[in-house]
Chains A and B, each alone.
Chain A
Amino acid sequence: MESTLRDLSERALAHALAHGAREAAVGLYRTRFIELKRREGKTETLQASTARGLSIALYVDGRYSSNATSYLVWSELERFLDETLAMTRKLAPDPYRALPDPARYGPTEGVELDLEDASYDRREMAWREQLVAEVEAAALAAGGERVISASADVTTQASESLQIHSNGFRGERRTTSFHLSASVTARDAEGRRPEDYAHAGARHAEGLPEPASVGREAAERALARIGSRKAESRRLPLVVENRAAGRLVSSLLEPLTGASLQQRRSCFADRVGAAIGSPLLTLHDDPLIPRALGSRLYDDEGLRAAPRDLLRDGVLVEYLIDDYYARKLGVPVTGGSTSNLILPAGRASLRELCAPLAEAILVTSFLGGNSNPATGDFSFGVSGFLIRGGERVAPVSEMNITGNHTELWKRLEAVGGDPYPWSSWQLPSLLFSDVQFSGQ
């Protein structure tokens, strides 16, 4: 972090403490990014900027506010601090607001996460142009005449952030990321224009796959959607492809947060130690994997990062409880967010997962829908493929799956050996028995 921004953070913290804040926490970030998008053989958009911002949490006379500004000129920042300090004083006190116990602070020591690619600044625009050209060419080659539109995108980012708390925490991190994606729209005989995409992302440029593979995958996926229609309404086994599984897992996690529990809007209240899923359901969170997209040495509250299990063999081990809701609930802090979330993979490929199924639906994408954390009820739009005799026989779309999280995860029957590599959540494909589909 450049010294002027570092000094500004220290000065903001000192100003808050000198003007009535009992405690304060300052965060400052600076992110340089470039996004290049290519279509029809030429650059369509080029965006490049540096974003910066300062955030400050204020604890004033037992009262709390959290504030952010992008205007980092001291005279303006000083006015912003004075106004937010005054605003905070008008609120009702909240006895549960305080900075975390310093004993719990990170950063975790003795670990090198290697999240910054030293080559970032040597990567020229021509390198990015080459990447998207290869992605686009592969998409067009794989898609052939049925492609209406193919676009390729590269986004690179170099971020640095600083976090300082008045009770001693001091964290600093530098990360880079590189993302490639392609999206392809194809023509079908009935006037529909099915689309799909492919994406890959990594902390280091060398972690990206062969660019052509991204373009090819997007085209193959779009072509595979041609001629899709809804199947009939019935209960069937559900296979969820690895990259789509996050939609189900995120709605499983919402009722497990401290905020949901404290606000009595959780279908999993008082279930620690109980089986809420089949023995295949383990969710392990590991923030300390070198080069992984979700890795970190401390979380948003400054808490030391460590691997943990949220669920083990179907049994709920611990909730996601941040420092504030831990105080409010009177329970220990477990950390309020996930990092690299891992559902331990099995051995089967997606194809092998489908092979024993006489009839099933493979969901490759969710479309809208929602989940109610208080009751566990969910209903999601889906598209994918009808499986018969273990094989994909036809693309399906315009269907819903509907059920309840307290039942669904008990029907997790098999787990693929294919954890999705391009996300902080490394989830494999999942097989559930007996799920309600609605269609025709």
Chain B
Amino acid sequence: MTPGPDTFAARFGLDDAVYGRLIAAALASGGDFCDLFLQAKTSNVIGLEDGEVNRAFRQSDLGIGIRVVAGDAQGYAFCEELEERSMLEAARVAASIAKSGATLPPQRIVRTPLPDRYPAARPWSGVTTEEKLPLLARLGQRASAADPRIRKVRIRFGDAESHVLVVDSSGRKAYDLQPMTVLYVFCVAEHEGRIEENYHAIGARHGLELYQPELLDSVADEAVAKTLLLFQAVRPAAGEMPVVLAAGSSGILLHEAIGHGMEADFNRKGTSIFSDRIGTAVARPFVSIVDEGTLPSARGSLNVDDEGNPVGCTTLVENGILRSYMHDRVSARHYGVEPTGNGRRESFRQMPLPRMRNTYMLAGPHSKEEIIRSVRRGIYAVSFTNGQVQIGAGDFTFYIKTGYLIEEGKLTTPIKDVNLIGNGPKVLADVEMVGDDLVIDQGGWTCGKDGQSVPVSLGLPTVKVSAITVGGEG
């Protein structure tokens, strides 16, 4: 059971009778289903620049989103106050999607017990600004003093606490308290007239307890090392070549190459390159890919999805065979399957969509050393900034910030700043080797879709793809 009392009852005096009246208003025009999504969220960012922690940004959001489903159609309205009069008006707007006039009997509202996948020993609501300042000071001092070439250090430290309550017309009610924190350390370095910049980030559903001194030092050290490496880095030659993806954040490959294409809303509309391919072979038998929402304190983990559905592990690819899409309620009903707990939204202002949580490939049979040794001429990709995909054509990209050339089976010169572009199904089929060294990345990844951002995580063992087109020069 999620600890603590439901904020919306305790602080705003809302009760099941109010929710019952809102649901009745939302279904008054004949919708098949409706849900209420209440959210109270406070986010803070504090920043260090030029050696001083001298800026802070706080955002406080409160509101309710009301959705009415009628067949495949959905009506949605939100309001930014919890007065019953305003909420009823939003319910009536959402209700206008439905035309049948049929009414459903009211259901008794019952709270669903939830697991506790991200307990925070020091929840952010109890952490003062004074407690955060020394963390930034330590990071800033360590990164600035690490090397004389480091000229500028910037830090963004973010924390958030979101109370969410989902109540739906089947009578299901779930309350969750979702913590989040992200930390970015950026470094600018100068060497022999050249300037380079890089960063390191971490993110997790944790409270203050996450930031032990060793972790802070490792983030500062990583940011410095990733920046200084760029002075030795070149851009590889342009064209197709074998690419070995380092264990960890290379999971961005899965997110773009297959993840988005397996979100069921696209498949329901036939607009994904993976539409109609369930049950077919898409990769070699040692390739298995999952989207798991239950990893303890991971950035994409959830106790309950944003439609009130339980969250588990969705198997996208099992031993090379395409198994399941990621569903929200609407797509699950369309396909006649259970929701997979992938219904997510950025806030109460948006409708839920099928979204990823923590997407990773299971460990395989090869060792990292034999994978690298197998490449005569190619690249080893280590860190990434961003990626994107065209769902239907299947083309996807991800941008390598740092990596190495592989020459005659050995890592040699560092590389930087090149985009990789491939086609999802082709790249999956071209996964030739999978390492036994799965790493779930702790980076502060955020996924965008239809203008909505949600936190996610990703992971990968060392993987070899036989050919991807590498941006490069010459």
Q: A49-B79, A63-B54 are in contact. Are A372 and B417 (CB under 8 A)?
A: yes
* Known contacts A265-B152, A265-B188, A402-B238, A69 near B60 by CB under 8 Å: yes
Determine if A368 and B398 form an interchain contact, defined as CB atoms under 8 angstroms apart.
yes
Q: B60, A71: Cβ atoms under 8 Å?
A: yes
A372 to chain B: which residues have CB within 8 Å? 197, 417
Interface-facing stretch out of A138-146, A393-401, A415-423, A424-432: A393-401
Cα distance A53–B56 in the bound complex, in angstroms: 18
B209: interface (CB < 8 Å): no
Is A46 interfacial (CB 8 A cutoff)?
yes
Q: Are A370 and B386 in contact (CB under 8 A)?
A: yes
B7 at the interface (CB under 8 A from A): no
Report the bound CA distance from A184 to B449 in whole Å: 17
B242 CB to closest chain A CB (Å) equals 15
The reply to whether B77 and A440 form a contact with Cβ atoms under 8 Å apart is no
State whether B55 touches A65 (Cβ < 8 A).
yes
Interface residues of B in 168-208 (CB under 8 A from A): 188, 190, 194-197
Contacts of B349 in A (CB 8 A): 49, 51
Q: Which of A97, A185, A374, A380 contacts B271 (CB 8 A)?
A: A185
Q: Return the chain A residue nearest B131 by Cβ.
A: A90
B61 touches A402 (CB 8 A): no
Let me know if A118 is at the binding interface, CB within 8 A.
no
Interface stretch of the complex, out of B89-97, B294-302, B366-374, B433-441:
B89-97
Q: A191 contacts the other chain (Cβ, under 8 Å)? A: yes
**Are B188 and A374 in contact (CB-based, < 8 A)?**
yes
Closest B residue to A86 using CB positions:
B129
Of the candidate stretches A167-175, A212-220, A225-233, A272-280, the one touching chain B is A225-233
Collect the chain B residues with CB atoms within 8 Å of residue A193's CB: 270-273, 275, 391-394
Answer whether A397 and B190 are a contact pair too, CB < 8 Å, given A192-B273, A193-B273.
no
Query: Is there a chain B Cβ closer than 8 Å to A250's Cβ?
Result: no
Q: Are B272 and A90 in contact (CB under 8 A)?
A: no
- Answer whether A49 and B235 are a contact pair too, CB < 8 Å, given A263-B188, A264-B188: no
Which residues of A in the span 76-101 have a Cβ within 8 Å of any Cβ on B? Answer: 76, 80, 83-84, 87-88, 90-94, 97
Chain B residues with Cβ below 8 Å from A331 are: none
Residues of A within 8 A of B389 (CB): 367
Q: Within 8 Å of chain A (Cβ to Cβ): is B470? A: yes
- The 8 Å CB contact of A45, one of B130, B194, B240, B351, is B351
Are A397 and B393 in contact, CB atoms less than 8 angstroms apart?
Answer: yes
Q: For the complex, is A377 an interface residue (Cβ under 8 Å from B)?
A: yes
**Does the CB pair B133–A90 fall under 8 Å?**
yes
Instruction: Report whether A94 and B55 are in contact in the complex, using a CB–CB cutoff of 8 Å.
Output: yes
Which chain B residues border A380 with CB–CB below 8 Å? Answer: 419, 471
Contact of B392 among A151, A195, A368 (CB under 8 A): A195
Interchain CA distance A73-B418 in the complex, whole Å:
50
Closest to A381 in B: B397
Q: Which residues of B contact A233 (CB under 8 A)?
A: 238-240, 469
Complex Cα distance, B79 from A149, in Å, reads 32
Residues 398-451 of B contacting A (Cβ, < 8 Å):
398-399, 416-423, 425
- The residue that B472 contacts in the complex, of A52, A194, A438, with Cβ under 8 A, is A438
Task: List B contacts of A378 (CB < 8 A).
Answer: 417
Least CB distance, A329 to chain B, in whole angstroms = 12
Q: How far is the CA of A233 from the CA of B59 in the complex (A)?
A: 47
| A148-B270 in contact (CB<8A) | yes
Tell me if B319 is interfacial: C-beta within 8 Å of chain A: no
- A50's partner among B79, B96, B239, B385 (CB-CB below 8 A) is B79
Which residues in window 458-474 of B have CB below 8 A to A?
Answer: 469-474
Q: Is A67 an interface residue (CB 8 A)?
A: yes
How many of B's residues come within 8 Å of A, CB to CB?
85
Among A66, A233, A381, A383, max chain B CB count under 10 A is at A381
Tell which of A7-15, A36-44, A199-207 binds the partner.
A36-44
Q: Which residues of chain B are near A230, meaning CB under 8 Å?
A: 469
Q: How far is the CA of A225 from the CA of B273 in the complex (A)?
A: 14
**A364 CB–B CB distance under 8 Å:** no
**CB-CB < 8 A to A49: which residues of B?**
76-79, 90, 93, 349
Cβ-closest chain B residue relative to A229: B423
The number of chain A residues with a CB under 8 A from chain B is 79
A71 and B473 within 8 A (CB): no
Q: Check if A437 is an interface residue, CB within 8 A of chain B.
A: yes
CB distance from B166 to the nearest CB of A (A): 18
Judged by a CB distance under 8 angstroms, whether B229 is at the interface is: no
**Which single residue of chain A is at the shortest CB-CB distance from B398?**
A368
A265 to B195, CA, bound (A): 7
Interface residues of B in 48-68 (CB under 8 A from A): 49, 52-63
Q: B337: which A residues are within 8 A, CB to CB?
A: none
**Least CB distance, A52 to chain B, in whole angstroms:** 6
Pairwise interchain contact B63-A65, C-beta atoms closer than 8 A:
no
Question: Is A358 part of the binding interface, using a Cβ–Cβ cutoff of 8 Å?
Answer: no
| CA gap between A45 and B79 in the complex, in Å | 18
Q: A264-B190, A398-B421 are in contact. Are A64 and B152 (CB under 8 A)?
A: no
Whether, in the assembled complex, A357 has its beta carbon less than 8 Å from a beta carbon of chain B, the answer is no
Residues of B within 8 A of A47 (CB): 75-77, 351
B residues near A50, Cβ cutoff 8 Å? 79
B208 to nearest A CB, angstroms? 15
Residues of B within 8 A of A88 (CB): 56
The listed residue (A92, A97, A400) touching B471 by CB distance below 8 A is A400
Bound Cα distance A383, B417 (Å): 20
Given A72-B81, A372-B417, A437-B238, is A44 in contact with B74 using a C-beta cutoff of 8 Å? yes
Query: Is B46 an interface residue when CB atoms closer than 8 A count as contact?
Result: yes
Return the contact of A67 from the options B59, B77, B129 (Cβ within 8 A). Answer: B59
Please measure, in the bound complex, the distance between the C-alpha atom of A373 and the C-alpha atom of B385, giving whole angstroms.
14
**Which residue in A65, A149, A440 is a CB contact (below 8 Å) of B57?**
A65
| A383 pairs with B55, CB closer than 8 A | no
With a cutoff of 8 Å between Cβ atoms, the chain A residues found around residue B393 in the complex are: 192-195, 225, 228, 383, 397
Q: Which of B130, B423, B471 is the one whose CB lies under 8 Å from A369?
A: B471
Q: Does B80 contact A (CB under 8 A)?
A: yes
Asked whether B72 is an interface residue with its Cβ less than 8 Å from the other chain, the reply is yes
| CA of A108 to CA of B18, assembled, Å | 49
* B196 x A436 contact (CB < 8 A): no
B387 at the interface (CB under 8 A from A): yes
A225–B63 CA distance with the chains assembled, in angstroms: 42
* Contact status B195-A436, CB under 8 Å: no
Residues in B with CB closer than 8 Å to A337 are none
- Chain B minimum-CB-distance residue to A89: B129
Which residues of B sit under 8 angstroms from A399, Cβ to Cβ? 421, 469
- B80 and chain A: residue at smallest CB distance: A70
Q: Complex formed: what's the CA distance from A29 to B364 in Å?
A: 53
**Separation in Å of the A220 CB from the closest CB of chain B?**
16
Residue ID in chain B nearest A438 by CB atoms:
B238
Query: Does A68 count as interface, using CB distance less than 8 angstroms?
Result: yes
A41 to B429, CA, bound (A): 37
- Across-interface contacts of A397 in B (CB, < 8 A): 393, 395
Instruction: Indicate if A48 sits at the interface (CB-CB under 8 A).
Output: yes
CB-CB < 8 A to A64: which residues of B?
Answer: 54-56
A432→B257 CA distance, assembly (Å): 31
Residue ID in chain A nearest B424 by CB atoms = A192
**A400, B275: Cβ atoms under 8 Å?**
no
Q: How far is the CA of A77 from the CA of B87 in the complex (A)?
A: 20
- In-complex Cβ contact of B417 among A48, A92, A375 (8 A): A375
Rounded to whole angstroms, the CA-CA distance of A91 and B396 in the bound complex is 43
The reply to whether the CB of A346 lies closer than 8 angstroms to some CB of chain B is no
Contact residues in B for A406 (Cβ distance below 8 Å): none
User: In this assembly, does A344 line the interface, its C-beta being within 8 Å of a C-beta of chain B?
Assistant: no
Q: Beyond A193-B391, A368-B399, A381-B419, list 5 extra A-B contacts (CB 8 Å).
A: A45-B351, A51-B78, A65-B56, A263-B49, A400-B470
14 A–B contact pairs at CB < 8 A?
A44-B74, A64-B55, A72-B80, A72-B81, A84-B56, A148-B392, A193-B275, A263-B49, A374-B195, A383-B390, A383-B393, A398-B395, A438-B471, A439-B469
